[in-house]
Chain A
Amino acid sequence: MAPLLQVTDLRVHFHTDDGIVKAVDGISYSVDAGQTLGIVGESGSGKSVSSMTVMGLTRAKNAQISGSIVFDGKELLTATEDELRRVRGGPVSMIFQDPLSSLHPMYKIGKQLVEAVRTHQDVSKARALDRAVEMLGLVGLPEPRRRVDSYPHEFSGGMRQRVMIAMALCNDPKLLIADEPTTALDVTVQAQILDLLERLKRELDTAIVLITHDLGVVAEVTDDIAVMYAGRIVEKAPKGAIFAAPEHPYTWGLLRSIPRLDSPRDEELVPIPGRPPSLINPPSGCSFHPRCPYVREAHTRVDPALEPVPGAREHAVACLLTGETRQALWAELASGADPEAAKAAATPAAAAGPGRLEEEGS
């Protein structure tokens, strides 16, 4: 059976005065009904652009978009604006990071929800309002019957986010794209929203693409995880594998640089050195190479493709180190070694070298 959403070799390049911004540069993924895919990565890695493109929201004069986005058997990349309007807010809907940007400040939220329902369903205003109240109740807004007469500014951030989610759900979407839906919220409100997302998936079989920079959030609610770096997916695997046996040095970096409640309190954080790359002049070879502790000479020239990890069917990684070396390195890192120590232990021959590993294979 074909997946509900199949994105293949998607590229989104923006022509700007400074040059071509390669915001998304060849990514592929798929999501099935009832499945949640988490997309993680730091800001500017292309998470939002890639998902907005699914909804046709990045189309612009200066945008050059290629590849393929097949949703429910239909190609969306070449769909007309009219066709997209029927999809948006209907079978595919999106929750944005900033709820204020997608709620109209001058209209009562009830009116906005009714409009959203009637765009996609041929029902009376009264029926649409019932649906709105039902959805507001579903997302846990207290006294929904009364609150439909409120304006967005009368709500707290968490309540607005719930209104947004109600709006995204009012037409029973098959696919929900949630772009950092909890980033602006307190943990207690975040917990409410995550609960809601889990219920959707369980009870309505909704497919979800969840974009976040929070590894904790993806650990709790996703099935598969794609790690993005500089417009590419550098690692993709079922959630368990990403946390238990990560393969990409950037993923290792993310995992070791955050403090976590379940690790010893005095454990040293290992920052990822340097800073995120420019998308106009991305580094040659592997785009992570300037920040990678395990870089070898060839990695500054050769661009790694996302390839299956030997022996792990659903796990893919874009890294030029051999599987053996990566596993040896992660074994060291997981037991608390810092990158230098891990390098020395995992590849003894390289320990004598001046901070760079020996060439491998080439």
Chain B
Amino acid sequence: MAAGNPLVEVRDLVKHFPIKKGLILSRQVGAVRAVDGISFDIVEGETLGLVGESGCGKSTTARLLTRLLDPTSGTISFEGRDIAFMSHEELKPLRRDMQMIFQDPYSSLNPRKTVGSIIAEPFVIHAVAPDPKERKRRVQELMEQVGLNPEHFNRLPHEFSGGQRQRIGVARAIALKPKLIVADEPVSALDVSIQAQILNLLRTLQRDLGLTIVFIAHDLSVVRHMCDRIAVMYLGRIAELASADELYGHPRHPYTGALLSAVPVPDPRLAKMKVRQVLGGDVPSPTNPPQACRFHTRCPKAVAGTCDVDDPELAAKAGGNLAACHFPLSDTEIAARVPTAAP
């Protein structure tokens, strides 16, 4: 699906959360179709972005990839081994190869543990560097690497700012040199002036350590800056998958076009040129998503009799983008909607 060696191959991955009714004899009355049949590869050494509106299934995908959640069906092959239904016992040795960084640097750190022991957790869990002196040296090295003062080893999380706490999360994630890092909105909770510090850190670490990163964010400018390839999700599905240049240069799916058109551009001249394309209504409920193309209820290009009848496959369109759409955007349409694009 993409150039390079795939580290992870995801096929037809599904996660449905059952909705139950009744307290004693609870029975299932429906399901939240959080992830509903997605396939993609994660190429070794790349940063793959996941974007889309709130609730489209980004975090669920992240938690499936790292097997913090059990999938409903599908396969996730990690270095050729299907981990989708592996038991926790079987997974344990693999866990050190996949780490997560979370959005909220406040709640994801144990407030009563020193920073040193938080960063050392992966060493403890996987019995690496058992000698206390050696362990402390490794932890301080990590602190240095992520831009923390190694002398602050014994401080508690509340003594650090938001950006510094996110650095602690990053240090813990890279401690065992994992093969895959899944970062779920790592900068969304940070102040604008601090975001760039963490984004630069992640980029440097990726370059230096050859990490493979799945980077989730709802800010499309941040994703463009950070990612080599990007999957745009809508209601549990991938609407479009393309390299950053392809996706931002010539978005083919009308949903991607609408997202990009909605991003406010910090340049009054460009802002004036563009016709903001406002999508009507709200995202439909994932409990009962629209038939066929999931976007047809809001799509400016939808054609009755096609889009509400045939489910479009994720397939190659002009310029190389993979898009799940019967009527992808033409270059003229892109030029009118997205002033930042260059088809």
Q: Which residues of A contact B (CB under 8 A)?
A: 42-43, 140, 142, 156-159, 186-192, 194-195, 213-220, 239-240, 243, 253-255, 257-262, 265, 267-273, 275-276
**Complex-state Cα separation, A356 to B328, whole angstroms:** 54
Residues of A within 8 A of B197 (CB): 271, 273
Residues of B within 8 A of A269 (CB): 196, 199-200, 225
Check B195–A261 contact: CB distance below 8 A: no
Check A258–B266 contact: CB distance below 8 A: yes
Check B196–A191 contact: CB distance below 8 A: no
Q: Which residues between 227 and 286 of chain B lie within 8 Å of chain A, taking CB atoms?
A: 244-245, 248, 258-268, 270-271, 276-283
How many of chain B's residues touch chain A, expressed as a range? 35 or more
Residues of A within 8 A of B265 (CB): 216, 219-220, 260-262
The stretch of B21-29, B128-136, B216-224 in contact with A is B216-224
Residues of A within 8 A of B192 (CB): 42, 213-215, 254, 257-258
Q: A120 to chain B: closest CB distance in Å?
A: 30
**Complex-state Cα separation, A175 to B282, whole angstroms:** 28
Check B262–A42 contact: CB distance below 8 A: no
Residues of B within 8 A of A157 (CB): 54
**B194 interface residue per 8 A CB criterion:** yes
- Which listed residue, B196, B226, B248, touches A270 by the CB 8 Å rule? B196
Contact count A vs B, C-beta below 8 Å? 135
> What residue in chain A is nearest B277 (Cβ atoms)?
A191
**B53 interface residue per 8 A CB criterion:** yes
Most buried by A among B197, B260, B267: B267
Given A240-B268, A258-B192, 17 additional A-B pairs, CB 8 A: A42-B192, A156-B282, A192-B278, A192-B279, A216-B221, A216-B266, A254-B192, A260-B221, A260-B267, A261-B220, A262-B265, A262-B339, A265-B248, A269-B196, A271-B195, A271-B197, A275-B161
Task: In the A-B complex, list the 9 residue pairs whose CB atoms are closest, starting with the nearest.
Answer: A216-B264, A259-B225, A271-B196, A191-B262, A257-B196, A261-B340, A269-B196, A215-B266, A272-B193
* Listed A/B pairs (23) with beta-carbon separation below 8 Å: A42-B191, A158-B282, A186-B218, A187-B53, A187-B220, A188-B278, A191-B278, A195-B278, A213-B192, A216-B264, A219-B266, A219-B267, A239-B268, A243-B266, A257-B195, A257-B196, A259-B222, A259-B225, A259-B226, A260-B221, A261-B260, A261-B263, A273-B197
Check B262–A188 contact: CB distance below 8 A: yes
Check A259–B271 contact: CB distance below 8 A: no
Most buried by B among A213, A220, A261, A262: A261
Most buried by B among A42, A190, A271, A272: A271
> What residue in chain B is nearest A43 (Cβ atoms)?
B191
**Complex-state Cα separation, A259 to B281, whole angstroms:** 29
Q: B203 to chain A: closest CB distance in Å?
A: 9
Residues of A within 8 A of B71 (CB): none
> What residue in chain B is nearest A273 (Cβ atoms)?
B197
Residues of B within 8 A of A215 (CB): 192, 266
**Complex-state Cα separation, A192 to B199, whole angstroms:** 29
Residues of B within 8 A of A217 (CB): 264
Q: A71 to chain B: closest CB distance in Å?
A: 28
Also in contact, A213 and B191, with CB within 8 A (given A188-B258, A220-B265): yes
**B186 interface residue per 8 A CB criterion:** no
**Complex-state Cα separation, A232 to B136, whole angstroms:** 43
Residues of B within 8 A of A243 (CB): 266-268
**Complex-state Cα separation, A189 to B281, whole angstroms:** 9
Residues of A within 8 A of B226 (CB): 259
**Complex-state Cα separation, A255 to B221, whole angstroms:** 13
Residues of B within 8 A of A213 (CB): 191-192
**B163 interface residue per 8 A CB criterion:** yes
Residues of B within 8 A of A267 (CB): 225
Check A194–B200 contact: CB distance below 8 A: no
Check B218–A187 contact: CB distance below 8 A: yes
Check B196–A188 contact: CB distance below 8 A: no
Residues of B within 8 A of A194 (CB): 264, 276
**Complex-state Cα separation, A267 to B226, whole angstroms:** 11
- Which listed residue, A192, A239, A261, touches B221 by the CB 8 Å rule? A261
Residues of B within 8 A of A195 (CB): 276, 278
Also in contact, A275 and B264, with CB within 8 A (given A259-B222, A261-B220, A262-B340): no
Q: B155 to chain A: closest CB distance in Å?
A: 15
Residues of B within 8 A of A271 (CB): 193-197, 200
Most buried by B among A216, A255, A276: A216
Q: B286 to chain A: closest CB distance in Å?
A: 12
Q: B265 to chain A: closest CB distance in Å?
A: 6
Residue-wise, chain B 130-147 has the 8 Å CB interface mask toward A (1 for contact) of 000000000000000000
Check B248–A261 contact: CB distance below 8 A: yes
Check A216–B263 contact: CB distance below 8 A: yes
Residues of B within 8 A of A255 (CB): 266
**Complex-state Cα separation, A271 to B266, whole angstroms:** 17
Q: Which residues between 167 and 181 of chain B lie within 8 Å of chain A, taking CB atoms?
A: none
Check B225–A191 contact: CB distance below 8 A: no
Check B225–A188 contact: CB distance below 8 A: no
Q: B110 to chain A: closest CB distance in Å?
A: 22
> What residue in chain A is nearest B161 (Cβ atoms)?
A275
**Complex-state Cα separation, A159 to B54, whole angstroms:** 14
